[in-house]
Structure 1
């Protein structure tokens, strides 16, 4: 593998137990996608021309993650009609919807989650299946449209092979199973293991889209978990520089490779009002406030920081009941190369490849068609999915 940053200290080896991880996304009827299934590796790049559905595919994975964390359908799909396939015809009851799913691999083997959502005339789950090879752990169906629940059946393998009960029609049934299944029989324990694997694999997702316009202003120091738009970059820089010198040195090396001019350090300094602002130390005089950097430089710096941090620094919903060593942080980056020049795109992809190979994070990113980011991703062995082919 290419040596990324000369002079940067090596990271210690990553401990990678058999952590649950999302390895496949299925969009059988979602937005413009019909029958689309693709694998997700440690580093996955979605590419294709404008309108090919890169962003909606990323949005589907983000929505599944939110549902696994206990969010309602309305929370994750505030405008559900946009995901109904354009040519989908309503049935006799004027109902239309969409279908999506994923596979999560881990100690319980490959577990499939498939979800059918009704978007019109009202938003609700109409069907959910949680399955493994040769076994159905959970199956739900909408039996009575006049009631706000689905009828669920889950594997028991005891004196009664299947347990049936109603579940809410606006939540993911898989995420509710730990509250409903006692775990007394071997079958129930299998169900719990499968459900926990899916929930843990989908949680800890950080959707990142740095917004340079919001990153230029000083911020208060108490916001030390990085937001999706990276507007509190300065406060997080102040924290990470103090907590981990090795990772900060890697960030400085990345900044040196991607920012114009010399870079001796990247840090946060206090303003007269008590806030902090991010600055670049040029090593030869006055420091450069980040508000003077170009938009592409700001996006590059923020994305490099994301790749070099973790769930305790990013604003993510981790599974608090599961040790961090058994969780995977998944970063979703829509437009990884947006606003970046070819050298920055190539350098950022190389950094992403290095961090994903260590097991530090998993990254699913969208990039422009046939650009330097795609070529670099292929060179570094990333999973590249062309949504136009």
Structure 2
């Protein structure tokens, strides 16, 4: 067993070296095209130290960052060459690859940075946090009731941008010694003001389009929110059995990384949808693992989600939503969060999900969702969140420039 493990590890290392060399070659061709012009002095940067598997955390910020960069020169700093290549190909901001801490020092010394933004809690963030001149701002990559959203790590940043009243109450109730009033700014959810074109048109018929978007299995007991291995195949089978539902399956990009059971469950769901599409080509079921998240919010009529940022983004649409109950007793569920108000489905009721989705579309449920939307995001009229994001970023940058 040990020999087999070592052999797989060796193969992975060889593959990583080969991938890194290919990325380095590609970067040499891209860097000159996407470099920050010499005459530009950067005012803000986004620091992203992760490999490409976590780029979903950056992608949702592309358009809000582009809006900010219209008035304030900004760029993305990445620490891995593979992410640098991917970002250079798709991100609207200039991309800088800082391989070493010395590279970061050179960059900071050459620019009058007033803000550094972070989308996750990578431990390498501390290599950037050591610089005193810019303000350090945690953005996160989505609002949710996950335990992660009240991490003590927030104390490392000068500011945390939060979505609304719910986040403020969460931090007030859970963090000890954290001044929520002075260390947070509310911005709503600027991603709600971004329109996404679907990669493929869905058939125009009377089927109900259901988005099933489970989160990943997590890397620790308190984060085991995913329903994929516990509920997934049963729920999908039940939806396919109605003959009236079209399923868009959108797994988390990290699915199966920490637990192979979830990769197997993913493969089973994919096979179910492929078999159903083969039997009924007009059904239009879709396995969506490549496109950017966002278009699904417009295309689907109802959603099944775990306690995750997807559930909260969907909540803002006002359409039918059913939450899954974590099968693991170790997953922390906020008794004051959306799971206390919205309809939920336990593992032993997974087959009932078509009926639960229908019930979730009632008038009383719609009123409940409207109250939750205001509690979590504040004003969601078109353009309001984007304007709040830009205003908050400019406020922080102006304050730091004055200091």
Same fold (TM over 0.5): no
Could you tell me the TM-score, scaled by structure 1's length?
Answer: 0.26
Bigger strand fraction = 1
Could you tell me the TM-score, scaled by structure 2's length?
Answer: 0.25
Bigger helix fraction = 2
Higher relative contact order (CA 8 A, sep 6+): 1
